[in-house]
Structure formats: C-alpha cells, structure tokens
Structure 1
Amino acid sequence: MSSRPSAVPSAARSDEVVRTLDLVAAVAQEFGDRSRGLADAYQELSDLYRTGGATPGDARLTREHVHAYLVARMPATLAVGRAVFGAVAARRPEWGPATLLDLGAGPGTATWAAAEVFPSLTAVTCVEQATAMIDAGRQLARRSASSAVRDAQWHRTSVAEPPEVRADLVVASFVLGELPDAAIADVVARWWRATLGELVVIEPGTPAGFGRLRRVRDLLIGEGATITAPCPSDAACPMAGDDWCHFAARVARSGVHRAVKGGELGFEDEKFAYISASRQPPAHAAARVLRAPQVRSGHIRLTVCEAPDKREAVVARSQKDAFRWARKAHWGDEVPPGALRGRRKED
C-alpha cells in the first residue's frame, strides 16, 4: 500500500474515536491530568525501549515514565486494538471468546480494547515484564466495567516465555519488533500453541513492521492457520516492491497529550499492520480496500486486495448497489461479495 495514505480508514471514524474514552478517562481519574515534566519522561521512556526496554524492577522506569506512556502513547494503541478486534469480530460475528491472553500487555491496553469488542470475555491473563506497567494496569483495571478486566491475572515475565496458559483469543500488540529475529519463529510457535481460536499480532504500520508480520503470516499458514483478517485469502501475499499493507486509526488528542508530544493538531493518525490467524474454518472477506477510494465524476476508483492479487478496480455509477457502497467505503473496509465483479481498471 502507498506509504502516504490520503484519508483515514473506517477504523478511524469519529464515533469510534469517542468510544475509546473509557480507558482514557480512567487514566485521568487515577493519575491526574497534568503535563508538567511528562514530555521529558516520555522522551526518556522512548530512549529506554529503543536501547533494549525496561526490565522487571528496573529502577529507571518511574511513575512519571508510566504516566507519560498512558497520556501520550496508550490512546493510540487503544484505538488500534479496537480497530483490529472489530475487524476480527466482523469476520466472525458468531464467535465470542471467553478467555484472553495479552502478551506484552503494558498497562493492559489491548485487554481493555478486547473487552469492549468481545463482552463475552470472562477470564484474562496479562503478561508484562515491567513492574511499573503491571502496577499501573492493576490500578486502572479497578475502573473497568468488565469483571474480566478487573479480575485479570498478571504475570511478570517475557513474551518469549509466557505462562502455560491457553486462551480463545491471544494478542501480541507492538511486541514482535522487540524480539531478536532469530527467536521469532520459536516464539510465534509458542504463541500459536497457546491459541484456541484467534492469534492477533499487531505491529507498527511501517515496511519493517509489515515485513515481520509477513514472515509470521507465512509461519502460521505453514502450521495450518487460516488468516481471518485483513487478508481475503491464505494465498501468498501479493504485496511486493515498495508496497506494504497497513492501515490507520485516528486518535483524539487531549490537551495534555498535545503538550507531552509537542503536537498542535487535535488528533493523530496511528499507522498499524496486523494479522489474525485462526484455528477456526476460513472466514475471508471477498476483498479489502487498501487505499482511500478516489471519487471521480461518474465513477469511484479503488485499490483492493482480492485473492490472489492486489488490483485496481472501478465502480461506475451505473452499478447502483456497488456504487452506493463505494461512495461510503473507507480505507481498510471489506468489499461486499460481487461488488467489483466485471469491472477492472487497466494498468
């Protein structure tokens, strides 16, 4: 996909931005709403992770570091988690996971997102190395409307060596890049063994992040998995050259968020890539929109992934039902079956 998307996909619509405020409000209530000193703490935290991350009990990871993360980084990861779990739920509307394993949980951001999308959750296990993050996660969990979140079991250990727990839904959000390349195959195999239903892996929406996910996708398909989302098939990925598959979630910025990150806009677009690998029967979308639709006089042009290829498609006004859908389509949306039949744009 283009490295310069021209619009925000469906995951970033304003109604979905508002729905992320549950955890954001809990942060403000538990940790206060102040920006003084947090910009420096956020930069220090970024430097810590860039040089190998914070270890359990690391004295360098202070309450200010955690607060800076909650204010400046957590809203984006929350919005991404909601978007990804929403995509999985759209493909498997009858599936209601009861158990969740959150790998590299931080303060439990993905757990909160999963509990919102899947109210069927009854038991949660969170795996996190940093003691300060675990403490914050437990503190915030007390304000969750979900009993599964409030009663979550926390384990202070590495995502490479999680506890012997199996879960319907396993998620590893923004942690794959912290693993050595040589360890990825073994660690992902361990995650897959822990998965009863869906394994969701989320990475930054960069060429490097997508490259890691593409490797994981191949590994999991080799183990018999089917890809629930975003892929429309389990065939070889058609992305090549400078293209990579990624999406974006729009995040509303509070005043303190802007102050900590030095931003001026009231929102930011978080780019991400993901896969959800399943032990369930295939449930592929017919196709998926890979770029913002281009509205023209009398027609709409789309870039879509439609097995086995990525292609350009044109929906003409004369295709009444398809055109009605295309006018409302966003980057990242599923394509209804048959909507693109018989219409191709020549390269």
Structure 2
Amino acid sequence: NSYTCIILIIQNDFEEETMEYALRTFELTKKYGEKLAVNNVNMNIPKGEVYGFVGKNGAGKTTLIRLVLGLANPTSGNFEFFGGMNNYKARARIGNLIESPAIYPNMTGQQNLTIFCKMLGVNEEKIPELLNLVGLNDVGKKKAKDYSLGMKQRLGIAIALLGDPEFLILDEPINGLDPSGIIEVRDLIIKLNKEFGKTVLISSHILGELSKLSTCYGIISNGKLVEELTHEELISRCTATTVIKTNNPEKAKQIISNLLADKYGTVPTLSINNNGAVVIGSAIEDTGSVTKALFMNDVVVESLTTAGSDLENYFVERMG
C-alpha cells in the first residue's frame, strides 16, 4: 500500500507539471493609488477549456484582462501564456474582444473584416468562412450601424478570430444583449470551443449564462480571486443533499435505503459522513416519512437538515 501511495503521488505531481495552460498569473497585482484593482491573483486557465471569469461590475475582471493583454502594466507579479512563451509571440496567438467591438458603423461586415485584415496583415481569403461561422453571411450590404447588438458582438468576435487564434479572450460579450442575442453568442462560443478547439476566457456577471457554456470558473471579488473550480465541482457543490444525524447511522442508512427504494423505485447516493450522519444525495421533500420510519425502528433522529444551494446563490455568496 505504501508503494501504491508513492506511485499515486508521483503520478499526480507529473500530471500537474505536464498540464498545459493557455494562461497563468502569479501574484498579479494592479494598484491605482490606494485601490487594489487586482490583488495577488493566481489564475490558471488550462488549454481547451471555456473559463468563466465571474465577478460583479468593478470586481477587477476587465483590469486583469487589460494587464495580460499588455494594455496596462502590473504593479507587481507576472503572468505567462502557453507555458512561458515570449509575450509578443504569444499575443499573436490570442484574439480578444474587450467590452464593445471597435467596428466601422458605415461599413458592412465584410468591409469591416477587410479593413482589419489589412491592419493585421492577415489573408482576406477566410473572410467568407468567418462570416459564415459567426452567422453574418446572409446580411448582404447591411451596414454595421444597422446591426442588432448581438450581430455587432458576433462581428466583433469574427474580428478577434481573424488571425486564427488558439486563445480567445472575451470581456462581457453578452452584456446588454437581449435573450436571442445572448443565445447566438453563447452558441458561437460553444462551437468555437467544441469544434475548433479554441480556449476561451469569458468574463461576465450574468451567472446563469456562464454556467451554460463554461467548463471551469474563476470567481473574483474586490480584486481577489476567491476560488477556481471545474463545472463538475460547481454542480456537486450546488446539489442539494439531506443530512440526517442519528444514534445509529448504519441502521439508519439501511432503513432509509429500503424506504426510498419502496417509495421511488430508485435510491439516491447514500453515505455516512465524518460526523456520523447519513447523507442522502438529493433533497428529500417527504422528510416526515423518513423520520417516522426511523422512529418505528428505534432509531433516534438527532437532526435533519438540507444542505446545498442553487448556482446563483453559490456565486453570489463568493462574490460578496
């Protein structure tokens, strides 16, 4: 067993070292006067993920993005792209859209992309393909000023994709959009990640939408990164459970298992935690029948609680 433990420790260390990251920050800090806009942030964005950067307005999301894109200088700390690549070379592999897209309102989508291709020195041959990808291939000669907000955001994403970047940084791309616009942008981001393998950093304070497309999260509050977690970890922490403390946990577990099997046909996950309480892996509405069955079998119920919260509450608690 000791050899097995040593092997597992070595394997876990090896996996940590070999995991590839699109972006890592190390104690990254930005101070404006006495205000810490970004406070010793250690962020880790694995390649191939959609990283939901969650925080209230003014929490430090945009400031951190500006720091890593070279639009502002950090007060202290540093960061690295793609495992330590030179920042100048790395940024050639990054596309970004910060807040609202910088587009020419009196030009069509195709004309806008043509202008940006010339500025970036990018081949114009992929413009029709990009317009098709973002769903703007059928708008004809319609000028950008007549686009809906969702169309403008998709055009902005198309501009960010001109250099075929590996890593896409989108700051509040769904802010101010109507429900249909939000769905359009969300579906586009999922497609870019799933079909084209793009790593995406997307910041937002719209929690419900981030949870529909993100594979991992970073939660920032008052400039501090308070938590990083995967989507699976988030779901498990927000899943409601029923916790029952009794004087005989093993017997209680068996009684509850039999009762739920008879009542519902299926039994949720049952376990006994470190405090000797039976944990039911879902919220039980009819708790009266559970306590009655335990009482009838001489098991004393000391406490019964429901733990867990929805996604909104989980984020709000951690964002302060």
Give TM-score scaled by structure 2 length: 0.31
Give TM-score scaled by structure 1 length: 0.29
Larger radius of gyration: 2
